[in-house]
Amino acid sequence: MSVLRESAESVSSSFPTGFVWGAATASFQIEGATTVDGRTDSIWDEFCRRPGAVANGDTGEPAADHYRRYAADVELMASLELGAYRFSVAWPRVRPDGGAENEAGLDFYDRLVDRLLEAGIAPWATLYHWDLPQALEVRGGWAARDTAYRFAEYTESVARRLGDRVAGWCTLNEPWCSAFAGYASGRHAPGVTSPPSAVAAVHHLLLGHGLAMERLRTYAPSAPAGITLNLFPVSAAAPTDTSDVDAARRVDGLQNRIFLDPVLRGGYPDDVLADLAPYGFTDHVRDGDLAVISAPIDLLGVNYYRALLVAAPVIRDPGPSEWIGAEGVRFLPSGLPRTEMGWEVQPDGLTDLLLRLHSEYPGVPLYITENGAAYPDEVGPDGTVRDVDRLAYLAVHLRAAHAAIRRGVDLRGYFCWSLLDNLEWAEGYAKRFGLVHVDFATQRRTVKDSARWYAGVISRNGLPAE
């Protein structure tokens, strides 16, 4: 029997009652309309204009034109049985140039939220998915402490307007990318290659998270709120080789613990502080900051794509690197199949990661806020998209999530990345992560087979039998 035709009778793994089933997107990746209704440039608008920064010279226009097509997109979501939709709010719409509030920008999210609620879909809002107003970058961006306070101010604007209707809040999406890809390797906006700026950005992003949580508690007190991190299981290529083990420790520190520990344990890990000492990390940490950063959160958003197998550096100082204090580390293949991003498909890593969070950072409900895969999808002559690889990817990752739940992990939801094909940052539009195919020339949407399969999972609240 084809997976797509399996019936409710064959359900073998049910998810807990009330499990949140959703899909996620981000403002700059789908909205387009970058100069409309008062929006001003974000760092990504500026970055896209740099020759060679983004594949094929792609920009935030037209993206998936969601700003204009949001109502039809909500209908599409309803047809896919989504219980929740995780979107991000564009800071440069709400406070253009990081300055005064812009009613027209807030109005868009107001309309979106209302439309979602009318369709019976819970709105989940992320406040920062990388579109910092360019004017704030000119004033130092996340390397400047002031940006954390501007972020809190912007959060207040959003929470005051949407706080009565949003069902779940994420302050930051993947601060690792904002700090290290944005300010160390420069492969993301703002394209800076300065390790001291990157470590400053880590702390100021986390401070911004803490200050934003305070505003959410005041202006949106009824919905759960937290932060979303891109977390990776990290292991040493040769577990008995002390230099591989040390390289894995450093990578785990920079990727995972540098964010988890301050938020959930109230302090930066000692080994990470030692690794980052040459870059002046602690110069940015002021009395009281960690209390703000570690105020309780209601949820931890986990974005999972793959695991990292790490070997010690063979060279030192290989140029701009995201791995400050671990420059030159090598990431080895495990020999598993890869997605179009070149990322290995490693569902067991998701179970391992969830179990680790459950045991080392207990007590916080977990949501998978992103998981998904890019494949080179095409609309066939019959008008369908037979994305068998994505369907298989989702199936094995949902099984991995279910395995973690069976072992006691408090996992409460899953948001597939992504609802729509979109601008995959520096990779441009060529990498398609959507459940729904977008023809960027015509804006025609085509529901992929994986989306129909996922709709079946949602309606059964469970996976089909293997």
Catalytic positions, written as ranges: 174, 370
Which H/E stretch holds residue 48?
helix 43-48
Tell me which residues in 388-417 interact with ligand IFM (CB under 6 A).
417
* C-beta of residue 251 within 8 angstroms of C-beta of residue 234: yes
> What is the Cα–Cα distance from 106 to 216, expressed in whole angstroms?
16
> What is the Cα–Cα distance from 242 to 274, expressed in whole angstroms?
18
Q: Is 275 a residue that touches ligand IFM (CB under 6 A)?
A: no
As measured in angstroms, the least distance from the Cβ of 302 to ligand IFM is: 11
Torsion of CA 30, 193, 98, 27, to 10 degrees: 10
Strand, coil or helix: 396: helix
As measured in angstroms, the least distance from the Cβ of 247 to ligand IFM is: 24
* C-beta of residue 289 within 8 angstroms of C-beta of residue 283: no
> Residue 173's beta-bridge partner residues?
228
As measured in angstroms, the least distance from the Cβ of 2 to ligand IFM is: 28
Nearest to residue 253, comparing CAs of 285, 231, 237? 231
Q: Tokens in use for 30?
A: 């789908």
Distances 378 to 29, 120, 212 between C-alpha atoms, Å: 20, 31, 41
Is the CB of 41 or the CB of 424 nearer to ligand IFM? 424
Is the CB of 255 or the CB of 294 nearer to ligand IFM? 255
* C-beta of residue 415 within 8 angstroms of C-beta of residue 23: yes
Is the CB of 227 or the CB of 290 nearer to ligand IFM? 227
Tell me which residues in 425-444 interact with ligand IFM (CB under 6 A).
433
Distances 172 to 12, 81, 293 between C-alpha atoms, Å: 35, 27, 12
Q: Is 131 a residue that touches ligand IFM (CB under 6 A)?
A: no
Is the CB of 163 or the CB of 434 nearer to ligand IFM? 434
As measured in angstroms, the least distance from the Cβ of 369 to ligand IFM is: 9
Is the CB of 29 or the CB of 102 nearer to ligand IFM? 29
Task: Kindly write out the interface string for residues 68-107 of this chain, putting x where it contacts ligand IFM by CB under 6 A and - elsewhere.
Answer: ----------------------------------------
Q: Which amino acid is at 386?
A: R
Torsions phi, psi for 332 (to 5 deg): -100, 150
As measured in angstroms, the least distance from the Cβ of 301 to ligand IFM is: 11
> What is the Cα–Cα distance from 266 to 10, expressed in whole angstroms?
46
As measured in angstroms, the least distance from the Cβ of 427 to ligand IFM is: 8
Is the CB of 45 or the CB of 370 nearer to ligand IFM? 370
Among 255, 256, 303, 321, binds ligand IFM (CB under 6 A): 303
Is the CB of 31 or the CB of 275 nearer to ligand IFM? 31
Distances 356 to 257, 332, 390, 414 between C-alpha atoms, Å: 12, 22, 26, 18
Which H/E stretch holds residue 226?
strand 225-230
The count of other CB atoms within 10 Å of the CB of residue 278 is 12
Is the CB of 86 or the CB of 284 nearer to ligand IFM? 86
* C-beta of residue 10 within 8 angstroms of C-beta of residue 464: yes
Among 20, 23, 26, 135, binds ligand IFM (CB under 6 A): 26
Please tell me the count of residues contacting ligand IFM according to CB under 6 A: 8
As measured in angstroms, the least distance from the Cβ of 149 to ligand IFM is: 25
Among 131, 174, 261, 327, binds ligand IFM (CB under 6 A): 174
Q: Is 424 a residue that touches ligand IFM (CB under 6 A)?
A: yes
Q: Tokens in use for 62?
A: 């037209």
Among 45, 340, 370, 449, binds ligand IFM (CB under 6 A): 370
Tell me which residues in 142-171 interact with ligand IFM (CB under 6 A).
none
Which H/E stretch holds residue 261?
helix 258-265
Question: 175 Cβ partners below 8 Å, 6+ apart?
Answer: 202, 205, 206, 209, 227, 229, 259
- 11-14 and 168-173 strand pairing: unpaired
As measured in angstroms, the least distance from the Cβ of 290 to ligand IFM is: 26
Binding site for ligand IFM (CB under 6 A): 26, 29, 174, 303, 370, 417, 424, 433
